[in-house]
Amino acid sequence: MRTLIAELEEAKSAFHSMAEGLPDTSWTKPSANPHWTNGQVLFHITLAFLLLPYLFPMARVFGRLPPFLSLVLAWLLDLGTGLFNWVNGVGPLAGGSFYSRDRLLRKYDSLHAYAVRTLSSLDPSELKRGMFYPHKWDPMFKDFMTLADVFRYPAIHMEHHLNQVVP
């Protein structure tokens, strides 16, 4: 559990370093991702933390049920991959415009605090429970993810996208 919290703390430090070190004039400049500005990439990174309050309870419940139930859910969610990709692409366009640097950092910090608080309240044995996930949604999703994987996902997601921010 301490390792996961340390990973979340490292992710927070890296995110703050990038967001705070970005000149004001670079917030709305194009990123290395051809579809988004730097601010939109940073908002997209925050989305992975925004998912935790939804993914965590779902994984916790499905982790106690027969595995085939989450397999069926993952299959059904995979059917909606087109819609997911659209929301995943358009969401940062709106969010990156709506959130200033300060507001995004506050949102990130509150979501990070939720993750650490929730993780700290768990019995370590619960981290081994998990469920099947829609593997077509994100190449960083595993077919089956434990609660530990769910908490690790935002940092992995951030690592993947942070190099797209161009100062």
Q: Which amino acid is at 98?
A: F
Give this prediction's pTM.
0.91
In the numeric block, the tokens 């925004």 are attached to 50
Decide: 151 and 51 in contact? Cβ < 8 Å. no
CB-based contact 129:150 (threshold 8 Å): no
Q: Which two tokens stand for residue 128?
A: 């081994």
Please give the chain's pLDDT, 167 residues, in tens.
899 999 999 999 999 999 999 999 999 999 999 999 999 999 999 999 998 898 889 999 999 999 999 999 999 999 999 999 999 999 999 998 889 999 999 999 999 999 999 999 999 999 999 999 998 998 889 999 999 999 999 999 999 999 999 98
End-to-end CA distance of the chain: 34
Helix (H) or strand (E) holding 22: none
The number of beta carbons lying within 10 Å of the beta carbon of residue 83 is 10
CATH superfamily of 2-162: dinb family like domain (1.20.120.450)
User: What pLDDT does residue 111 have?
Assistant: 95
Domain segments of the chain as ranges:
2-162
